[in-house]
Structure 1
Amino acid sequence: MKRIFTSLIATAAPLFVMSQNVNINILKDINPGSEGSSISQLKTFGNKLYFSADDGIHENELWVTDGTSTGTRLVKDINPTGNSGIVELTEAGGKLVFSAFDGSTGIELWVTDGTEAGTKLLKDIYTGESSSVALNFKQYGNRAIFVANDGTHGEEVWITDGTEAGTYMIKDIAPGSESSYSSDFTEYKGKIYFQASNGIDGWELWTTDGTEAGTYMVKDIFAGSDSSPRRFKVFNDKLFFRADDENGDELWVTDGTEAGTVLVKDINPTEGSSINEFVEINGRLCFRATDGVHGAELWTTDGTEPGTVLVKDINPGGADSFPGALTVFNDKVYFQATDGVHSEELWVSDGTPNGTYMVKDINPNGYSAPNFFATFKDKLFFVAIDGSNGSELWMTDGSENGTVKLTPPNATEPSPLYFLPFFTEFNNELFFKAEFDDQGVELWKLSLGELNVTDVQKSLTIQVYPNPVQSELKVQTANKEIIDQLSIYGLDGKLIKTSHPKSNNPAINVSQLSKGTYLLEVQTSKGKTNKKFIKN
């Protein structure tokens, strides 16, 4: 089954139309009928894609594909009596390790090389029928860090190289049967940083190099309580994170030393700023925070106190815009937010107030809640609701007109992406979990064809000058209408620059563009039109 969609990047009497074929195919109807195969845990490894699926016979088990229907197969029925519950597929020692249940030894550590014979219990950490429940896997060089409970030491930090002998507890951080509940593993400067509790100092900042001696608390940030360091992000050769102390939860940074672990800024002096979702754009970190005045809004930092500032009060008056699902695409951050007029819609920011704006009001009658973003071939894919059929698959190039829904014309209920889609790029295609045509939830794949640029020039409604241009390109409409948006595209269809002049004779700086031919899209209240220009 194949669906081909065409995305139009320019409409409304265009001078040039850019179109691109979007090919969507079901990989394989693993569980025929309307039940679906409960796809999850997609992981690329070697030249294959591994995942968990239920074919209606074996329940949820380990599957593999080479990207073709005939090359999609069950690897092994790990639990012949039920669901193996595979989670956390992670590379270690040239193999994949994961947590699974075989029906007799509990939830334990497994390993696979992609063959049935090579898929086996790696180590029964909590011997017998009890479960060690190996979780929180993080690849660390050629090994994997995780947490597990051996029945004696509680839940502690373990490491594996994919062999039984090379699988061991690194350190009993909370001595005895107490658990350290370690989590948020992040690699920085060749070590793993995480939060853990030793049973005395509360949840604090720890680090490990994979050895017992090299596993220690970096700093007791909140003496006598829990700082709970989390949301780690490496930026400018330092590790930024959210942590609590007497100031509440705020922005912290560490260079890996106790002295170098410090508060960056007390954003909300009254109760904490609830920092979340770090992403890096244009040499700065963007994140969500509240300062107690503006509500939850978009912030940015260069790593210093004076350089930590509110980007824009998107929803004025102290209300929350609550920017969420922050994702970097083409050197900007895309996210969902509400400005108090429109519900949760698609927004973009380059880290400046003028460069922060709503891309498109996808659902004028409610919220579109764009989420689960994934970049693929100079496009951004996501899930959104336009009010017609629940959560659907969308694609954007960063412009309003280039934000389009990708749905077969006869898609059936329920909505195809009412659940986590598990977007994963593999073999030059984008794989995702979806439901189309009453086949239940299955694994689908998407590919993008070549971009086509068609010249359909009509009577000019805009003037651009000078053309060719070196620095500033000026724009004038025939009737001197207010120009709301200017967008520059390369002839490959990639959005390069956008501005919102709100003027009838604006100019846009093109001095940074390389020499060549570009397309300028001009948007007014009456629609859009386009004009080619040459940069000298």
Structure 2
Amino acid sequence: MYITNGQPLFSFTCYDTTINRTGNQSPVEKLVLDDGRLLFTAGSTTYGYELWISDGTLTGTHIVKDINPGTASSYASNPVKLGHIVYFAADDGIHGKELWQTDGTASNTFMVKDIEPGSQSSFISNIIACNNLLYFLAQPLNAPAVLWTSDGTSPGTHMVPNGSFPSAGVVANSPFSCNGKVYFLGSDSVNGDELWVSNGTAAGTYLLKDINPGKASTAIYNVLGLAGKVYFVAYDAVTGNNLYYTDGTDTGTHMMGGLPPGGVSGIDMVYNGRLYFTCATAATGKELWSTDGTVMGTHLVADINPGPAGSDPKGLYPYRGKLYFSAKTTANGRELWVTNDSAAGTKMVIDINKAGTMNSDPQIWAEFEGLLFFNAIENTTQSQVYYTDGTDTGTHMIRPGSIAYSPVSRNELGIVAKGKLFFNADYKNYAAISPELWSLQDSVINPNAIGNIMYDNKSIIYPNPNNGHFTINTGTDDFMGTARIYDVTGKLIQTSRVEGRKQEIQLKAPAKAMYLLELQNDAGGTSTSTLLVE
């Protein structure tokens, strides 16, 4: 972060001139390589829809390989990293859609195996990694999708044999990797669609439990592990959606007790030894719940929208020891909320869209340089880029310093790579530009940037509130300056030297109160922030 005339500046770059000036295929399916570069899929008028890579600079953003040469598209998709290699599905125009691999270079980007020989596709999908192996679905012409596995080589790529019928494949859907095994929705003529498990061998691939007995099927989704067990949501036509857990055996697979039948709508995440999920009751509607895996340890976190309407919490993200998410209330619409797993500690962070009950519909991206970034709507129909330090006063929209519009962020979430936050956006002042790849960085003012994104004139302090011990993030390794802390009367409490990107400060005998922190670099530029000790 540079401080110039009292303003912290951030560099903001659009890569539209590199990828696609006039098309409408935005970058999606982003993945970070071992060396920190960003691998992503994107469409261009020159190459069609292909695999791209970026080191966070315009010159370092380029196509990896034109897999389907010319303007035709390979439709590279579903990239998954296994070891140092990324595997994905692509169509080179000759072999159909098959399994490919890349290390980010053109020379080492090639097809792993032509599963369905010739031009016919095997329609690779749902690629996942588990225990140093790839698992995916392949679907030959006029046949159901079956489960395959691969060690990344052609000889090591084969159909997973059915434990009951070793010569046949397992008809599968929606594989999940959890606790060292692959769980999926398997199908046979006896049990319908039910929960199966596999370790890639015939003996280790079997029906785990016939949850909906007989030929009737069960829908399985949201598989997550907690304390050695696997939790998932299962649906049947009699009771609806319910939370289940399994230890990997038939007898160890059960419905979670203490919850209303059919009320569980989805599992969100595991955090601090607890499983967070949404559940609806007649009294509260759909709200946020959590469990430690026991009936006694399962509870409603908070009735955010009092009464039966529910708040429909979405998109949980951990930040500074708490969970941030979006929730909808009758009074404020869908806004940014935070919880510490208690009713008292669950509150709205800020009402961004203050037009009555209109929604700001925040979607959280990532933590970057001590701040939480997300997109939201403020009194318009267009989504903008925001950051927060977890407080109302520390939540702001960011925009280029010399231009009146912020980028309009897209639903694809941001990702941090090479010291930059990458995301997709349109830009109002460039009407011909389709959704493209943008980056935000805090250490170098890029001469190719469209403009500088400016935070308010506050330095980054965390945690805030705190107990008198906190860190100042200047955002640049060569910062040299001084931090001065004043009380609310203007009395100077403490002076500390600040050098480098991050500096820890310990107040001497701090009292619980609000303070003003002034950060001044040796060139005279200043930034001020509020500091709360509690």
Is it true that 1:441 corresponds to 2:431 in the alignment?
A: no
Aligned equivalents of 1:5 and 1:155: distance in 2? 54
CA contact (8 A) 1:394 1:404 kept: yes
1:45 alignment partner in structure 2: 33
The structure-2 alpha-carbon separation of the partners of 1:362 and 1:91, relative to structure 1 and needing over 3 Å to count, comes to same
**C-alpha displacement at 1:408, in angstroms?**
2.2
**How much does 1:151 deviate?**
4.3
SS in 1 for 2:301: strand
Residues in 1 aligned to 2:345 and 2:532: alpha-carbon distance in whole angstroms: 24
Hey, what's the Cα distance between the residues in 2 that align with 1:63 and 1:284?
Answer: 38
Q: Which residue of 1 aligns with 2:244?
A: 252
Q: TM-score, normalised by structure 1?
A: 0.78
The equivalent of 1:509 in structure 2 is none
Q: 1:236 aligned to 2:224?
A: no
Deviates further, 51-60 or 130-139: 51-60
- Structure 1 residue 156: deviation in Å? 0.8
Shift of 1:283: 3.0
Q: Secondary structure at the match of 2:439?
A: strand
Structure 2 distance, partners of 1:324, 1:342, is 16
Structure 1 residues 413 and 68, CA, compared in 2 at 3 Å: closer, same or farther? closer
Pairing 1:428–2:431 present = no
In the other structure, the counterpart of 2:193 is 203
The aligned amino acid for 2:318 is V
Q: List gaps (5 residues or longer) in structure 1.
A: 7-16, 456-485, 495-513, 524-528
Question: By how many angstroms is 1:228 displaced?
Answer: 2.0
Task: Tell me if the contact between 1:251 and 1:266 (Cα under 8 Å) persists in the aligned partners.
Answer: no
The one-letter code matched in structure 2 to 1:53 is A
Structure 2 CA distance, aligned partners of 1:125 and 1:326?
38
Please state how far the C-alpha of 1:397 moved relative to its aligned partner: 1.2
Please, which of 140, 147, 162 is the counterpart of residue 157 of structure 1?
Answer: 147
Of 129, 132, 139, 1:139 maps to 129
- Give the drift of 1:231: 0.5
Cα RMSD (Å): 3.4
- Give the aligned partner of residue 525 of structure 2: none
Residue 496 (structure 2) aligns with: none
Change (3 A) 1:141 1:27: farther
Q: Deviations over 1:71-127 (max 9, x none)?
A: 222221111251211101112364222111122322221222333232222222122
1:183 is matched with 174
Please state if 1:305 is matched with 2:319.
no
SS at match of 2:372: strand
Q: Does the Cα contact within 8 Å between 1:156 and 1:179 map onto a contact in 2?
A: yes
CA deviation after TM superposition for structure 1 residue 173, in Å: 7.4
Partner of 1:355: 345
1:41-440 matches, cutoff 5 A: 41-47=29-35, 48-80=37-69, 82-92=72-82, 94-151=84-141, 154-172=144-162, 180-188=171-179, 190-224=180-214, 225-245=216-236, 246-265=238-257, 267-269=259-261, 272-365=262-355, 366-388=358-380, 390-408=382-400, 416-417=408-409, 419-436=410-427, 437-438=429-430, 439-440=433-434
1:423 partner letter: G
Distance 1:31 1:229 in 2: 39
CA contact (8 A) 2:388 2:394 kept: yes
Whether the aligned pair in 2 keeps the contact of 1:153 and 1:172 (CA below 8 Å) is no
Tell me: CA distance 1:521–1:278, structure 2 relative to 1, closer, same or farther (3 Å).
farther
Aligned to 2:448: none
Quote the Cα distance in structure 1 between the aligned partners of 2:374 and 2:2.
Answer: 16
Structure 1 position 288, deviation (Å): 1.1
TM-score for both structures, normalised by structure 2: 0.78
- Residues 381/515 of structure 1: CA separation in 2 closer, same or farther (3 Å cut): closer
CA distance in 1, matches of 2:294, 2:21: 57
Cα distance change, pair 492–79 in 1 and its aligned pair in 2 (3 A): same
Pair 375,38 (structure 1): closer, same or farther in 2 beyond 3 Å: same
Give the letter for the 2:50 counterpart.
E
Cα gap change, 1:292 to 1:5, in 2 (>3 Å): farther
Instruction: Specify the SS of the correspondent of 1:338.
Output: strand
